[in-house]
Structure 1
Amino acid sequence: MTDNAPCVPFASAAADPLADTGRLLARVDRGLAELRLGAAVTITGDDGRLMALAAESASAQTLADLAALGPSPRVILTGRRASVLGLAPAATTPVAVTLKGGLDVGAICRLADPCLDLDGPLPAIAAVDPIAGDGSAGAAVVLAKLARLLPAAVVVALEGAGPPATDPAAPLAFALAATDILRYQTAAARSLRKVSEARVPLAGAEHTRILAFRPSDGGTEHLAIIVGEPDSLQPVLTRLHSECFTGDLLGSLRCDCGDQLRGALDAIAAEGSGVLLYLAQEGRGIGLVNKLRAYQLQDQGFDTLDANGQLGFDDDERIYLPAAEILRQLGISRVRLLTNNPLKVEALGRHAITVVERVPHIYEPNPYNLRYLQTKARRSGHLF
């Protein structure tokens, strides 16, 4: 297989068929930046319009500003976080928590961040109400996740279809549609295009190229590491590898990621050709900072999945549409997949990539990652 497609040139929005997607992504990117800065955004959905702050970056001043906009500000938590707190044991969708006595930073942090005080009492709660995951409040939590913050938001409902002229926050709050937030990951994956390619000889695999793929908003990039010249008419030996700063770069013993990365490249080199996709999905999709928070919780006795739950995340937040899109652009539709994770096999199948063989990818555990690997086998169905 030879990929001679040119890099995507610069083009005007009028000439770009991805212009609408690019504008959607750019709007959500702006919203992500606002949340990370501690600013509020407005989100409009079928269930109404609200002003939202990321719980993690809320301050006394921003909470006071939010409370001045409407009655009964609420804290929005994922169903997973509400469940571990005992607020809604069977919750599968987000919940809205109304606090007695109004909002304060300490109470919000206690609800959103398990790393602060696992054993402390919860703040006084007036009500816990389930909400739709695809509404404006649910989208606020998704936006916090996309910003790689704790998955919790503080919201206040706003009246009317748009900010009143007298609303002091109107000129400052960036406006988003809930549907744009919920479509963001799919739109980003569909808009991936190759933007760079270079020969990068590797130890043991000198005939290697690295291709960089970037979505139309200039956002998160993924890499395809191509060893040799894979024949796309045959099933291509392929590895989907989620980036792991601690394991891949630092050699962390808490996971097997470094072993899997280097082992996959060795296996592909021994095969003579193949592809490793290096995907920007640190910490099973929760980001490096949240992964370090999960490690802190693991040191307190939680396993890798329960630590995610304590933070409010699902066991695995990754999507594999970016991987499938890159494989399609490389002309690969059938793979022999280096993985122990049957969910990767299923995910590629859903995106029209046929896995003709699952190739085991197993390495010796060490005292630091043994429990992690056992948990993945027992609770996530990994095959070792």
Structure 2
Amino acid sequence: MSIAPAFLAEAASDALRRGRVVGIGTLAILSAELADAESLAALESGGTRAGMIITARRAAVLSLANQRAAAVGDAEPVWVERPDWLDMAGSRGIADPVLDLATPFKGPFRSRALGEDAASARAAIALAKHGALLPALYAAAIAGPDPVLTVPAETVMLLPPAMARVKISSRARLPLAAAENTEVVAFRPDDGGPEHLALVIGDPRRDQPVLARLHSACLTGDVLASLKCDCGPQLHAAIAAIAANPGGGILLYLQQEGRGIGLLNKLRAYALQDQGFDTVDANTRLGFEPDERDFTLAAAMLKALGVGDVTLMTNNPLKVDGLAAHGLTVTRVAHHMPPNPHNAAYLGTKRDRQGHMP
């Protein structure tokens, strides 16, 4: 029985998140943040010492990549050789930047050309990001017994957003404190990823633009009322504004924590912000792009709800462009919150470095 490529790629993502060795194209890989002595020994059982694959963003921080190419996010991953002196603790220092200031002197490191491993290295980074892991991996050429699971590199690159499809799984009435006439609609993506929600407030007409908000989940802001961001106030203000709108509207609650890098990596970014890095530099030091989100799923959810035109509450041009790219007609209305002493610099960075509009 043949296995659909999407299922194979998702199985590889699950195995990587469990700290297992996975074969991707020409390479056997292992998550750097989850590796232990036993799993690293298994990776190196073919007799070859594993190197490390990191993103161009992280390599630029370590002065291992073309900084101009890395700055625009179009550079290839970088292979870092691991001489005998570079043990597991030192390797984690390459992968995780939280201790960079505490141990600023790293190296010297040598990198090598990826050659025929380039596609596999790109897929390995994509798989780590998809699993919300640090985008840094131990890697070795596949030799001897194959890893338990081996996936072609091109199959990994089919992971979302390329395969973003959703279906409505359930729906129910959900009275909210600020919007009693609310229905929650749960969407399950075909890729087996996390579920996403739509709050349909009032009775929005689909034959005219629907007032809408795309809200990326933020546990620290939405649930714990963190003052480091404006997410919680944005969420509650959006629900109140849609409830007050005569035509109602729709709020999508998307599981895209930390601009798509995941909760644990967002907390690592917070630690870097405490060291003086802004939100953009924190993400790129971790090896991510400034914003890893894709709004293909959001467009698919709106279309499944019969929505084609939206009046979008946002200051983020990426959200406008993301929906428009999938055929929705988008009119923007501003949605911003007043700063507090803890998030004023964060909001300024979003405005000055990420193009957020007033």
How much identity, in percent, do the aligned residues show? 48
1:241 aligns with 2:189: no
Aligned residue identity for 2:93: R
CA shift for structure 1 position 72: 4.8
1:287 aligns with 2:262: yes
CA shift for structure 1 position 102: 6.6
CA distance in 2, matches of 1:341, 1:134: 33
CA shift for structure 1 position 57: 1.0
User: Structure 1 pair 216/343, CA: closer, same or farther in 2 (3 Å)?
Assistant: closer
CA distance in 2, matches of 1:126, 1:193: 47
Q: Is contact 2:182–2:201 with CA below 8 Å preserved after alignment?
A: yes
Q: List structure 1 segments (4+ residues) > 6 angstroms apart after TM superposition.
A: 131-134
Q: Normalising to structure 2: TM-score of the pair?
A: 0.92
Count of matched residue pairs: 350
In the alignment, what sits opposite 2:140?
A: 156
CA shift for structure 1 position 61: 2.4
Q: Structure 1, unaligned stretches of length 5 or more?
A: 1-12, 14-18
CA shift for structure 1 position 280: 0.5
1:85 aligns with 2:69: no
Aligned residue identity for 1:80: R
CA distance in 1, matches of 2:12, 2:28: 12
CA shift for structure 1 position 64: 2.4
Aligned residue identity for 1:201: P
Q: Any residues of structure 2 matched to 1:177-256 within 5 Å, and which?
A: 177-186=152-161, 188-190=163-165, 192-256=166-230
Q: Is contact 1:211–1:225 with CA below 8 Å preserved after alignment?
A: yes
CA shift for structure 1 position 325: 0.3
Q: Is contact 1:94–1:132 with CA below 8 Å preserved after alignment?
A: no
CA distance in 2, matches of 1:36, 1:203: 38
CA distance in 1, matches of 2:47, 2:122: 19
Give deviations 1:51-73, integer Å, cap 9, x for gaps.
00011111222222222325352
CA distance in 2, matches of 1:132, 1:198: 51
Aligned residue identity for 2:225: G
User: Structure 1 pair 182/134, CA: closer, same or farther in 2 (3 Å)?
Assistant: farther
1:266 aligns with 2:240: yes
1:30 aligns with 2:4: no
CA shift for structure 1 position 180: 2.1
User: Structure 1 pair 239/104, CA: closer, same or farther in 2 (3 Å)?
Assistant: same
In the alignment, what sits opposite 2:271?
A: 296
Q: Normalising to structure 1: TM-score of the pair?
A: 0.86
Aligned residue identity for 1:302: F
1:100 aligns with 2:76: no
Q: Is contact 2:164–2:190 with CA below 8 Å preserved after alignment?
A: no
Q: Secondary structure at the match of 1:83?
A: helix
CA shift for structure 1 position 134: 6.8
User: Structure 1 pair 194/184, CA: closer, same or farther in 2 (3 Å)?
Assistant: same
User: Structure 1 pair 158/133, CA: closer, same or farther in 2 (3 Å)?
Assistant: closer
Q: Is contact 1:236–1:274 with CA below 8 Å preserved after alignment?
A: yes
Q: Structure 2, unaligned stretches of length 5 or more?
A: none
In the alignment, what sits opposite 2:322?
A: 347
Q: Is contact 1:50–1:158 with CA below 8 Å preserved after alignment?
A: yes
CA distance in 2, matches of 1:130, 1:301: 34
CA distance in 2, matches of 1:328, 1:269: 21
Aligned residue identity for 2:168: K
Match of 2:95 among 112, 133, 136: 112
Q: Is contact 2:160–2:191 with CA below 8 Å preserved after alignment?
A: no
Residue range with higher mean Cα deviation, 213-222 or 67-76 = 67-76
